[in-house]
């Protein structure tokens, strides 16, 4: 049964959100034949992203520390190497002072950077590197409520963290290894999968 659910690109970049929240959530999503409904919060996030794209068209690139650059929106990316697929909100192609840069930008409907945000941005960066044959040194998280672009270095530290998290994800999927539950039991109280977690509640 599980083999039928696995293709060569099993994970979405957005899965890192659930993975960081509680690893077991993703286990249920991938290892149980269950379709998760789109919640109001998810819908609101999508609409906020679309609105930001419209406003972004009118803004300069100064918020990203750039004078010039070409912006592309909703860039579809996939990688058999990483087993990931996703859509980067925006990719800036910049050439300034003889330096050519490809810069991924992720729009977030949040006023603080969650721990999964940098992982998602790194995923987009690595897929862009694979697709375009370039090296990406940085990306931005655009915090929609704050109208602020936060720079995130795509350095060896975040690359190593990403690789470790991806190894654990693959281990869960291919070995059907159920992850340990979250230690923050307050998350379980509102979790849609709580009826499956008899060992925590
Ligand atoms: S009930 Fe708790 S441990 Fe189980 S999936 Fe939900 S958040 Fe994770």
pLDDT, tens digit, 9 for 90 and up, residues 46-89: 566 666 677 777 778 989 999 889 999 999 999 999 999 999 99
In which domain, by residue range, is 71 found? Answer: 2-196
Nearest CA to ligand 1 atom 5: 25
CATH number at residue 150: 3.90.320.10
Ligand 1 close to Cβ of residue 25 (< 6 A): yes
- pLDDT per position as a tens digit, 6-19: 457 889 999 999 89
Q: Is residue 201 part of a domain?
A: no
Q: Is residue 119 part of a domain?
A: yes
The predicted model scores a pTM of 0.85
Q: Is residue 12 part of a domain?
A: yes
Ligand 1 close to Cβ of residue 193 (< 6 A): yes
Pocket residue to mutate for ligand 1, from 25, 27, 190, most atoms within 8 A of Cβ: 25
Alpha carbon distances (Å) from 141 to 46, 112, 170: 15, 10, 26
Q: Is residue 48 part of a domain?
A: yes
Ligand 1 close to Cβ of residue 85 (< 6 A): no
Q: Is residue 114 part of a domain?
A: yes
Q: Is residue 59 part of a domain?
A: yes
Distance CA(135)–CA(100), nearest Å, equals 10
* Extended beta strands in the chain, E state: 11-12, 70-79, 84-96, 99-108, 138-143, 148-153
Q: Is residue 115 part of a domain?
A: yes
Domains contained in the chain, number: 1
Ligand 1 close to Cβ of residue 86 (< 6 A): no
SS3 content of the chain, % helix, strand, coil (to 5): 45, 25, 30
Distance CA(122)–CA(101), nearest Å, equals 15
């Amino acid at each position: 049964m599980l083999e039928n659910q696995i293709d060569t690109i099993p994970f979405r970049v957005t899965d890192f959100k659930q993975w960081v929240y509680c690893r077991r959530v993703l286990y249920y999503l991938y290892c149980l034949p269950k379709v998760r409904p789109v919640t109001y919060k998810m819908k609101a996030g999508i609409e906020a992203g679309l609105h930001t794209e419209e406003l972004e068209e009118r803004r300069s690139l100064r918020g990203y520390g750039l004078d010039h650059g070409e912006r592309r929106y909703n860039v579809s990316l996939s990688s058999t190497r990483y087993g990931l697929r996703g859509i980067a909100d925006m990719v800036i192609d910049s050439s300034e002072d003889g330096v050519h840069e490809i810069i991924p930008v992720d729009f977030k409907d949040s006023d603080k950077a969650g721990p999964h945000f940098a992982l998602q941005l790194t995923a987009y960066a690595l897929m862009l590197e694979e697709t375009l044959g370039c090296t990406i040194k940085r990306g931005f998280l655009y915090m929609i409520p704050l109208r602020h672009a936060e720079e995130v270095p795509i350095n060896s530290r975040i690359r190593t963290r990403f690789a470790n998290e991806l190894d654990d994800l693959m281990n869960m999927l291919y070995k059907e290894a159920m992850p340990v539950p979250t230690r923050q039991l307050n998350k379980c109280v509102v979790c849609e999968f709580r009826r499956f977690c008899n060992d925590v509640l």
